[in-house]
Structure 1
């Protein structure tokens, strides 16, 4: 399993930040690897909502179906899967003076033969996490 975590401070209220991040369709704005993210079901963004995320990783396009597993006032948890990987994205927020501290943690559990490649992919996932930590605060500042 590979896990990466980044913390960042943004000058927006916690509730607003979490509401934005709870809509996984917004990943096209703040996750540099995401090319498209389409909601698969109608209605409000609540636990159980689903998206199809299309990303590019190491030059190859991949799709995962994500589900919002948990939506609390301070945290959202998404679980995505396809036949080679299960990805869990946990995003927590906490008020800190006039800012919001956002902690983004992504964990990837590979299946089948893909497990053998996991140790060689860590550096690439670290790079992607760095890119998220750079882009997400900028996107939130513009909202």
Structure 2
């Protein structure tokens, strides 16, 4: 990881393998004298993350974050058991299908990776690691 210009793609959630990857990158940065910049991108659905995180992101973005947009969409008496984003990822891309309680499918990840590979302005060789798949896919742009 430290020797290549890799992009590491995970779900970006603060649990499971995604959390371990984020923590590993954080420790790498702390322990190395001159750490290499590691790009770790979380790809997940807007409806997967908990409502507090969604409201915090709306407020932080200040783009269309009206008071109405930042109100709770779920009743206060409903116990919400959803995910938060891992803070150690360098980037996070949230896909929005308009549904709550929806997890990212492989088709959305594949579309993103294909788009990156088809970008003719980029000449980089990218290693893409999926935390919930049993393979490593090497993507090379010519």
Where on the TM-score scale, by shorter chain, does this alignment land: which range? under 0.3
Structure having the larger proportion of residues in strand: 1
TM-score by length of 2: 0.24
Quick check: which has more Rg, 1 or 2? 2
